[in-house]
């Protein structure tokens, strides 16, 4: 089950971001996962609940945005959903797709950190930023 190794990598990346932003707790983690990424979202959610124990992510909500696979047909100059079962032929002209344009994503899209405790300090230049959504690159 490679979803556990993905969940552990997400936890490690968020813990590093928490240190950089002076946060001691994450409330929400957002992932973008394509339907062609080979990741089972339910298995990843379960693995995340295991991996987050004893970390700054303990109790954090995992939000998974599933990205539908899309391909491009050069002759038609249009994009189409590849669907399930997978079909890489244009539904309009039946030509094979020239490029898969979406669906392979596996991205840490963002993190929302908790407000620092009263009297606590954040190492971010802007205190508001510590509690704000932090995009991940």
Asked if residues 102 and 33 have their Cβ atoms less than 8 Å apart, the reply is no
Give the closest residue to 115 by CA, choosing from 128, 98, 99, 134. 128
What pLDDT sits at residue 1? 61
pLDDT per position as a tens digit, 38-66: 999 999 999 999 999 999 999 999 999 99
How many domains are contained in the chain?
2
Its pTM stands at: 0.77
Is pLDDT at 131 greater than 50 in this prediction? no
Range of the domain at 95: 69-102
What pLDDT sits at residue 128? 36
Gap between the Cα atoms of 122 and 2, Å rounded: 34
Is pLDDT at 116 greater than 80 in this prediction? no
What pLDDT sits at residue 124? 35
* Helix, strand, coil abundance in the chain, percent, nearest 5: 25, 30, 45
Same domain (yes/no): 61, 109 = yes
Same domain (yes/no): 35, 90 = no
- Separation in Å, CA 58 to CA 29, 46, 53: 11, 13, 5
């Amino acid at each position: 089950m490679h979803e556990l190794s993905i969940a552990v990598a997400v936890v490690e990346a968020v813990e590093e971001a928490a240190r950089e932003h002076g946060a001691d707790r994450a409330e929400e983690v957002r992932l973008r996962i394509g339907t062609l990424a080979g990741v089972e979202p339910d298995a990843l959610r379960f693995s995340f609940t295991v991996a987050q124990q004893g970390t700054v992510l303990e109790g954090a909500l995992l939000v998974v945005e599933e990205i539908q696979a899309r391909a491009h047909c050069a002759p038609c100059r249009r994009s189409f959903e590849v669907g399930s079962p997978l079909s890489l032929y244009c539904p309009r002209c039946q030509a094979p797709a020239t490029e898969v344009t979406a669906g392979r994503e596996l991205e840490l899209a963002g993190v929302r950190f908790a407000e620092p405790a009263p009297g606590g300090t954040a190492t971010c230049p802007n205190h508001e930023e510590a509690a704000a959504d932090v995009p991940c690159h």
